[in-house]
Structure 1
């Protein structure tokens, strides 16, 4: 499948006309409509047995990219803000995407022309969640993401009443699949440094999906996460500047 590389043009027709950019506007608007149709087709082709396949969003993203796919979806959700079948979290997300009003000369709304309207709103909402997740998985992990995952693992260790590994010799906690999908080997190393357990290891289990964190049953599970060391830059920024010596005052002439 060849990706549509038409640049996404976000400004309304009136702005495009004033700035000599109507050609870019029209090409982008046409691609938005094509993306709308592709989303409807993907939902129709991937909905089976009351389940929308994860491949639905992937195939549209492969054809139109994240920017246009998410833009068309955000526009759709915003135009359907009244519809209770769309999750409020999807609506909150859509409001964070800048979309300009685009009225024609007759009072019509050109943004309505690329609203995904041939699929059930509940399925559109599922598609939105799939597309947002795919976008999230494409992003590198931040320090905050790694710390949050460490806290989740620590909570699982602490919630276990007794060693819960198959052999009963370790406490174990499942690492988030989304975290593992995004994590590099360095990220996994940073995760392990966040947790205060000398016996900590990451491994898989036979007949169980995913990656698990293991610690010995003799570990104190109620240690707080380690505090990361401040970088040299942070230390320099937080160090108060040395006071400057006072400027020498002018000597007053001795009064006679």
Structure 2
């Protein structure tokens, strides 16, 4: 899997932070990921059926985080004219993509929205298969009690490198 950092801010914010090189490397990687998704669709869609392994190589090469970023950006940018399921629209809206009209369109996957909806379904299925803990397995409002001593904490997968994306790696006992 490629190791380019997924930069979470806009180009404008990167300039303010002096992190233009990080942003640019991530931006170019987003475009490469978009191209890989487009190529995978061409190879795995026969005009009527999308092969179940369409995203396998993309996820292996770019990882879950970047693949999600590019797919969510595509749905967000094209939501107004797309045939996306309400579940996929809701999923995409939960991923924060910083507004950047000049650059975000550069990594929109150019394929029919109905086909891309199937690709997003495949991504979400592959992610769920990892069995990671999510907000639904946590105590609501548990952040209000700051005394975590003697408790098991669940770290968000977003805080972990993908090489540690296992349910076991998410659990931490506070001494």
Match of 1:78 among 50, 55, 76: 76
- 1:83: Cα distance to partner? 2.2
Following the alignment from structure 1 to structure 2, what is the Cα–Cα distance between the partners of residues 75 and 49? 24
TM-superposed CA distance for 1:77, in Å, is 0.1
**Aligned CA-pair RMSD:** 1.9
Structure 1 pair 50/10, CA: closer, same or farther in 2 (3 Å)?
same
Change beyond 3 A, Cα 1:88–1:19: same
Which residue matches 1:135?
A: 127
One of 100, 113, 132 as aligned partner of 2:106 = 113
Runs of 4+ in 1 over 6 A off after TM superposition: none
**Distance change >3 Å, CA 130–CA 29, structure 1 → 2:** same
Shift of 1:138: 0.9
Please state whether the residue corresponding to 2:54 is helix, strand or coil: helix
Report the Cα distance in structure 2 between the residues aligned to 1:8 and 1:49, rounded to whole angstroms.
Answer: 32
Q: CA deviation digits over 1:96-145, x for unaligned, max 9?
A: 11111124xxxxx310110001x211111100010111011012478x88
- The structure carrying a bigger strand percent of its residues is 1
Normalised by the length of structure 1, the TM-score is: 0.51
Check the 8 A contact 2:10/2:100 in 1, yes or no. yes
Q: CA deviation at 1:48?
A: 2.6
* Alignment map for 1:53-64 (pairs within 5 Å): 53-64=51-62
How has the CA–CA distance of structure 1 residues 97 and 45 changed in structure 2, closer, same or farther, with 3 Å as cutoff?
A: same
Larger Rg: 1
User: Which TM-score applies when normalising by structure 2?
Assistant: 0.73
Check the 8 A contact 2:82/2:114 in 1, yes or no: no
Which residue in the other structure is 2:9 paired with?
A: 11
More helix by share: 2
Structure 2 unaligned residues grouped into runs of 5+: 138-151, 153-175
CA distance in 2, matches of 1:33, 1:140: 27
**2:45 equivalent among 44, 47, 64:** 47
Task: Classify the secondary structure of the residue corresponding to 1:138.
Answer: coil
Q: Report the secondary structure of 1:90's partner residue.
A: helix
* Structure 1 position 38, deviation (Å): 0.4
Task: For residue 55 of structure 1, report the CA deviation from its aligned partner.
Answer: 1.0
Aligned residues: 137
Gaps of 5+ in 1: 104-108, 146-232, 234-256
